[in-house]
A and B are shown apart, each in its own frame.
Chain A
Amino acid sequence: GAGVSQSPSNKVTEKGKDVELRCDPISGHTALYWYRQSLGQGLEFLIYFQGNSAPDKSGLPSDRFSAERTGGSVSTLTIQRTQQEDSAVYLCASSLAGRTGGKVNTEAFFGQGTRLTVV
Protein backbone atom coordinates (compact mmCIF):
# COMPACT_ATOMS: atom_id res chain seq x y z
CA GLY A 1 0.00 0.00 0.00
CA ALA A 2 0.86 3.66 -0.10
CA GLY A 3 1.60 3.94 3.58
CA VAL A 4 1.68 2.06 6.85
CA SER A 5 -1.82 1.00 7.81
CA GLN A 6 -2.89 0.20 11.35
CA SER A 7 -6.14 -1.23 12.56
CA PRO A 8 -8.27 -0.61 14.42
CA SER A 9 -7.76 3.14 14.76
CA ASN A 10 -9.46 3.08 18.12
CA LYS A 11 -10.04 0.24 20.55
CA VAL A 12 -11.83 0.31 23.88
CA THR A 13 -11.54 -2.83 25.92
CA GLU A 14 -12.32 -4.00 29.40
CA LYS A 15 -9.58 -4.63 31.87
CA GLY A 16 -8.46 -8.24 31.72
CA LYS A 17 -9.42 -8.81 28.09
CA ASP A 18 -6.92 -9.60 25.34
CA VAL A 19 -6.46 -7.28 22.35
CA GLU A 20 -4.79 -7.61 18.97
CA LEU A 21 -3.47 -4.66 17.05
CA ARG A 22 -2.61 -5.00 13.39
CA CYS A 23 0.01 -3.31 11.25
CA ASP A 24 0.32 -3.49 7.47
CA PRO A 25 3.73 -2.09 6.56
CA ILE A 26 4.70 -0.47 3.29
CA SER A 27 5.18 -3.17 0.67
CA GLY A 28 8.79 -4.27 0.43
CA HIS A 29 9.88 -2.80 3.75
CA THR A 30 11.98 -5.31 5.63
CA ALA A 31 12.07 -3.56 9.00
CA LEU A 32 9.04 -3.09 11.24
CA TYR A 33 8.77 -1.35 14.61
CA TRP A 34 6.16 -1.12 17.33
CA TYR A 35 6.16 1.83 19.71
CA ARG A 36 3.87 3.03 22.46
CA GLN A 37 3.11 6.67 23.13
CA SER A 38 1.21 8.03 26.08
CA LEU A 39 -0.66 11.29 25.61
CA GLY A 40 1.74 13.97 24.41
CA GLN A 41 4.73 11.98 25.55
CA GLY A 42 7.74 10.40 23.89
CA LEU A 43 8.02 7.12 22.07
CA GLU A 44 8.50 3.93 24.02
CA PHE A 45 10.17 1.26 21.90
CA LEU A 46 8.47 -2.13 22.09
CA ILE A 47 9.79 -4.48 19.43
CA TYR A 48 11.74 -4.48 16.15
CA PHE A 49 11.62 -6.94 13.28
CA GLN A 50 14.25 -6.97 10.55
CA GLY A 51 13.94 -9.47 7.74
CA ASN A 52 14.41 -13.04 8.90
CA SER A 53 16.45 -12.09 11.96
CA ALA A 54 15.24 -12.82 15.46
CA PRO A 55 13.15 -9.84 16.62
CA ASP A 56 14.51 -7.38 19.15
CA LYS A 57 12.00 -7.74 21.97
CA SER A 58 13.96 -5.72 24.48
CA GLY A 59 11.28 -3.04 24.81
CA LEU A 60 8.31 -5.24 25.64
CA PRO A 61 7.21 -4.14 29.14
CA SER A 62 5.95 -7.50 30.35
CA ASP A 63 5.21 -11.03 29.22
CA ARG A 64 1.63 -9.95 28.56
CA PHE A 65 2.93 -8.29 25.40
CA SER A 66 3.90 -10.25 22.32
CA ALA A 67 4.18 -9.59 18.61
CA GLU A 68 4.63 -11.58 15.48
CA ARG A 69 5.25 -10.82 11.89
CA THR A 70 3.92 -13.30 9.40
CA GLY A 71 5.60 -13.81 6.06
CA GLY A 72 7.78 -10.79 6.60
CA SER A 73 4.84 -8.47 6.12
CA VAL A 74 1.82 -7.98 8.39
CA SER A 75 2.48 -7.74 12.11
CA THR A 76 0.19 -8.27 15.06
CA LEU A 77 0.82 -6.90 18.55
CA THR A 78 -1.07 -8.84 21.21
CA ILE A 79 -1.68 -7.62 24.73
CA GLN A 80 -3.06 -10.24 27.10
CA ARG A 81 -5.03 -9.48 30.25
CA THR A 82 -5.02 -5.75 29.55
CA GLN A 83 -4.47 -3.31 32.38
CA GLN A 84 -5.42 0.36 32.61
CA GLU A 85 -1.78 1.36 32.33
CA ASP A 86 -1.74 -0.21 28.88
CA SER A 87 -3.90 2.66 27.63
CA ALA A 88 -1.87 4.54 25.03
CA VAL A 89 -1.44 5.04 21.31
CA TYR A 90 0.36 2.12 19.72
CA LEU A 91 2.39 3.14 16.68
CA CYS A 92 3.78 0.94 13.98
CA ALA A 93 6.53 1.97 11.57
CA SER A 94 8.30 0.31 8.70
CA SER A 95 11.54 0.94 6.90
CA LEU A 96 13.31 -0.26 3.82
CA ALA A 97 16.46 -0.51 5.96
CA GLY A 98 18.74 -0.71 2.97
CA ARG A 99 19.92 0.81 -0.25
CA THR A 100 17.93 1.16 -3.44
CA GLY A 101 19.04 2.82 -6.61
CA GLY A 102 22.25 3.87 -4.94
CA LYS A 103 20.45 5.76 -2.21
CA VAL A 104 20.31 4.80 1.44
CA ASN A 105 16.75 4.48 2.67
CA THR A 106 16.59 3.73 6.35
CA GLU A 107 14.04 6.25 7.54
CA ALA A 108 10.99 4.82 9.22
CA PHE A 109 7.48 5.65 8.08
CA PHE A 110 4.76 5.62 10.69
CA GLY A 111 1.14 4.61 10.66
CA GLN A 112 -1.54 6.73 12.31
CA GLY A 113 -1.60 4.49 15.34
CA THR A 114 -4.17 2.59 17.35
CA ARG A 115 -5.55 4.40 20.36
CA LEU A 116 -6.13 1.78 23.03
CA THR A 117 -8.29 2.58 26.02
CA VAL A 118 -8.62 0.05 28.81
CA VAL A 119 -11.62 0.66 31.05
Chain B
Amino acid sequence: AQSVAQPEDQVNVAEGNPLTVKCTYSVSGNPYLFWYVQYPNRGLQFLLKYITGDNLVKGSYGFEAEFNKSQTSFHLKKPSALVSDSALYFCAVSGGYQKVTFGTGTKLQVIP
Protein backbone atom coordinates (compact mmCIF):
# COMPACT_ATOMS: atom_id res chain seq x y z
CA ALA B 1 0.00 0.00 0.00
CA GLN B 2 1.21 3.49 -0.75
CA SER B 3 1.79 6.00 2.03
CA VAL B 4 3.09 9.47 2.74
CA ALA B 5 4.82 10.71 5.87
CA GLN B 6 5.10 14.33 6.89
CA PRO B 7 7.21 14.04 10.03
CA GLU B 8 6.68 17.58 11.29
CA ASP B 9 3.29 18.72 12.53
CA GLN B 10 4.52 22.30 12.50
CA VAL B 11 7.45 24.21 11.05
CA ASN B 12 8.36 27.68 12.25
CA VAL B 13 10.61 29.91 10.17
CA ALA B 14 11.54 33.57 10.27
CA GLU B 15 10.42 35.77 7.41
CA GLY B 16 13.12 35.98 4.76
CA ASN B 17 14.75 32.71 5.76
CA PRO B 18 14.65 29.61 3.56
CA LEU B 19 11.98 27.06 4.42
CA THR B 20 11.73 23.32 4.02
CA VAL B 21 8.69 21.14 4.63
CA LYS B 22 9.57 17.47 4.67
CA CYS B 23 7.83 14.59 2.94
CA THR B 24 8.75 10.95 2.41
CA TYR B 25 6.72 8.39 0.54
CA SER B 26 6.28 4.72 -0.14
CA VAL B 27 4.73 3.44 -3.36
CA SER B 28 5.07 0.57 -5.81
CA GLY B 29 6.54 1.60 -9.10
CA ASN B 30 7.29 5.10 -10.21
CA PRO B 31 5.76 7.74 -7.96
CA TYR B 32 3.69 10.71 -8.93
CA LEU B 33 4.19 13.30 -6.19
CA PHE B 34 2.24 16.42 -5.31
CA TRP B 35 2.17 19.33 -2.91
CA TYR B 36 -0.96 21.21 -1.92
CA VAL B 37 -1.47 24.28 0.26
CA GLN B 38 -4.48 25.21 2.37
CA TYR B 39 -4.73 28.78 3.56
CA PRO B 40 -6.92 29.47 6.61
CA ASN B 41 -10.61 28.96 5.85
CA ARG B 42 -9.83 28.10 2.24
CA GLY B 43 -9.87 24.97 0.12
CA LEU B 44 -6.81 23.00 -0.91
CA GLN B 45 -4.85 24.43 -3.80
CA PHE B 46 -2.49 22.48 -6.01
CA LEU B 47 1.10 23.80 -5.79
CA LEU B 48 3.27 21.52 -7.89
CA LYS B 49 3.84 17.97 -9.04
CA TYR B 50 6.60 15.59 -10.02
CA ILE B 51 5.84 13.06 -12.71
CA THR B 52 9.15 12.46 -14.44
CA GLY B 53 12.19 14.37 -15.61
CA ASP B 54 14.09 16.96 -13.63
CA ASN B 55 14.27 16.20 -9.93
CA LEU B 56 13.73 19.87 -9.04
CA VAL B 57 10.18 20.93 -9.73
CA LYS B 58 9.05 24.54 -9.64
CA GLY B 59 5.53 25.51 -8.74
CA SER B 60 3.28 28.36 -7.72
CA TYR B 61 4.18 31.23 -5.36
CA GLY B 62 7.93 30.60 -5.68
CA PHE B 63 7.81 27.12 -4.18
CA GLU B 64 9.87 24.23 -5.45
CA ALA B 65 10.31 20.62 -4.48
CA GLU B 66 13.14 18.18 -4.90
CA PHE B 67 12.50 14.56 -5.77
CA ASN B 68 15.08 12.21 -4.29
CA LYS B 69 14.52 8.64 -5.38
CA SER B 70 17.16 7.05 -3.16
CA GLN B 71 15.76 8.73 -0.06
CA THR B 72 12.14 8.44 -1.25
CA SER B 73 11.65 12.07 -0.38
CA PHE B 74 9.92 15.05 -1.95
CA HIS B 75 10.66 18.03 0.31
CA LEU B 76 9.02 21.36 -0.37
CA LYS B 77 11.30 24.39 -0.36
CA LYS B 78 11.30 28.13 -0.79
CA PRO B 79 14.42 30.34 -0.73
CA SER B 80 12.83 33.20 1.22
CA ALA B 81 9.70 32.74 3.32
CA LEU B 82 6.89 35.28 3.44
CA VAL B 83 4.41 35.77 6.26
CA SER B 84 1.70 35.07 3.68
CA ASP B 85 3.14 31.57 3.18
CA SER B 86 1.76 30.60 6.59
CA ALA B 87 -0.66 27.79 5.87
CA LEU B 88 -1.20 24.04 6.04
CA TYR B 89 0.81 22.04 3.51
CA PHE B 90 -0.03 18.56 2.28
CA CYS B 91 2.19 16.15 0.41
CA ALA B 92 0.57 13.43 -1.71
CA VAL B 93 1.62 10.41 -3.78
CA SER B 94 0.12 8.06 -6.30
CA GLY B 95 1.53 5.08 -8.13
CA GLY B 96 0.66 5.88 -11.70
CA TYR B 97 -3.01 6.51 -12.40
CA GLN B 98 -4.02 5.26 -8.99
CA LYS B 99 -5.69 6.79 -5.98
CA VAL B 100 -3.79 9.77 -4.59
CA THR B 101 -2.81 9.34 -0.95
CA PHE B 102 -2.31 12.44 1.20
CA GLY B 103 -0.05 13.01 4.16
CA THR B 104 -1.31 14.36 7.47
CA GLY B 105 -0.23 17.90 6.75
CA THR B 106 2.38 20.31 8.13
CA LYS B 107 1.47 23.68 9.52
CA LEU B 108 3.93 26.32 8.37
CA GLN B 109 4.23 29.41 10.53
CA VAL B 110 6.32 32.26 9.14
CA ILE B 111 7.29 34.68 11.89
CA PRO B 112 7.65 38.37 11.01
Are B100 and A95 within 8 A (Cβ)?
yes
The distance in angstroms between the C-alpha atoms of A40 and B105, with both chains bound, is: 10
Note all chain A residues with C-beta closer than 8 A to B32.
Answer: 104, 106
Taken residue by residue from 82 to 119, chain A's Cβ proximity to chain B (1 for < 8 Å, 0 otherwise) reads as 00000000010101011100001011111111000000
Residues of B at under 8 Å CB distance from A?
32, 34, 36, 42-46, 49, 51-52, 88, 90, 92, 94, 96-97, 99-105, 107
Q: A40-B88, A42-B105, A43-B105 are in contact. Are A50 and B99 (CB under 8 A)?
A: yes
The distance in angstroms between the C-alpha atoms of A27 and B50, with both chains bound, is: 24
Are A56 and B97 within 8 A (Cβ)?
no
Residues of A at under 8 Å CB distance from B?
31, 33, 35, 40-43, 45, 48, 50, 56, 91, 93, 95, 97-99, 104, 106-113
Are A48 and B90 within 8 A (Cβ)?
no
Q: How many residue-residue contacts, CB under 8 A, span A and B?
A: 55
Closest to A3 in B: B43
Are B34 and A107 within 8 A (Cβ)?
yes
* A-B contacts, 12 listed (Cβ < 8 Å): A33-B100, A41-B105, A42-B90, A42-B104, A43-B90, A91-B43, A91-B44, A97-B97, A104-B51, A106-B94, A106-B100, A110-B43
The distance in angstroms between the C-alpha atoms of A42 and B107, with both chains bound, is: 10
Note all chain B residues with C-beta closer than 8 A to A48.
Answer: 99
Are B102 and A43 within 8 A (Cβ)?
yes
- Nearest 8 A-B pairs (CB), nearest first? A42-B104, A110-B44, A42-B105, A112-B43, A104-B51, A43-B102, A110-B43, A48-B99
* Option from A33, A91, A106, A112 in Cβ contact (under 8 Å) with B97: A106
